[in-house]
Amino acid sequence: MADTTSAAGGARPPRKHTWNTTDLPGLSGRTAVITGANSGIGFAAADALARAGAHVVLAVRDPERGRAAASRISGSTEVRRLDLADLASVRDFAASWTAPLDLLINNAGVMMLPKQRTKDGFETQFGTNHLGHFALTNLLLPRVTGRVVTVSSSAHRWGRVRIDFDDLNQDAGYTPQRAYAQSKLANLLFTLELQRRLTESGSPVRAVAAHPGWAATNLQNHTANPVVRAVMQFGNRFLAQDDRAGALPTLYAATQDLPGASYVGPSGPAEMRGAPTLVGRTPAASDPETARRLWTVSEELTGVRFPLTAGV
């Protein structure tokens, strides 16, 4: 979105113990696109931004569910179809967008699914969580005027995960957990390289990332392993924060004066819950060479490249 704050890199998070939706700035006249906004933290973020005055576009795979969600939001909304697991759908969505776009929130995702393929033949978690958003962002970037927020996860820390460039689809020894962790690591590397390219091109747009901690949403209900699913359902009930609290890092990343490539998460123990703040990431998620390599591979796989004019 068009920033109401000072230049990137010049500020630290506010010195306060809590931050909530009441701290959002007025967003009248701003437009935000949120992928996967019909439920969970995407819906909570959409509702908060609309209440703050933004026009919010719910970019969803199922427009009927999107319209049902939009009817529960107090503010200006619009529903458009977008299937991140189908690059043709991504291209159609981007081609239909002709207006300036203040804020793009890459929120949608799938989590720990059985082995599946996207319409274009990619492993579903990598294809949806990373490649779909990679293509969408680059196709929309000439229209973006303010900020790109990509939702990652603390799962990028699981088991010293790395990007397996020799087997991105994990055809040799697929596990739902490792595939999910790789896709969330890719989200952080994407943000890192996107910000480098934006800075190099002289664009004022900032790329930042966020993670919700442990938020109780329906995302965990689709995991492949019934034991893992049972554990997550227990955690959702007794350990997790609700989806509105889980959306706070996304909203903070979207509206506060933060340096490009920042990563926002909860401030509580193990970053599971609490007020949003800047958080760290693994060395693997901070490696600029891996980020550049992933970007090059992602361009080859999607046929989408960084635009010559990006948010200028």
Token pair of 187 as six digits: 């989200």
| Angle, CA 285 vertex, CA 195 and CA 42 arms, to 5° | 70
Going from N- to C-terminal start, the domains of the chain cover: 21-213+242-302
Q: What pLDDT digit, counting tens, does each position of 78-103 carry? A: 999 999 999 999 999 999 999 999 99
Q: Which of 3-17, 117-131, 149-163, 231-245 has the lowest mean pLDDT?
A: 3-17
Q: What pLDDT digit, counting tens, does each position of 175-218 carry? A: 999 999 999 999 999 999 999 999 999 999 999 999 999 765 55
pLDDT of amino acid 216: 54
pLDDT of amino acid 24: 97
Token pair of 105 as six digits: 């929130």
Q: How confident is the model at residue 161 (pLDDT cuts 50, 70, 90)?
A: very high
pLDDT of amino acid 145: 97
Say how many C-beta atoms besides its own lie within 10 A of residue 29's C-beta. Answer: 11
Token pair of 44 as six digits: 């909570």
Give the separation between CA 191 and CA 105, rounded to whole angstroms: 12
CATH architecture of 21-213+242-302: 3-Layer(aba) Sandwich (3.40)
Active site residues: 180
Q: What is the DSSP string of 29-79?
A: T-EEEEETTTSHHHHHHHHHHHHTT-EEEEEES-HHHHHHHHTT-SS-EEE
pLDDT at 11 over 90: no
Q: Return the higher-pLDDT residue of 8 and 282.
A: 282
Q: What's phi and psi for 47, nearest 5 deg?
A: -65, -45
Q: Can you give the length of the chain in residues?
A: 312
pLDDT at 230 over 70: no
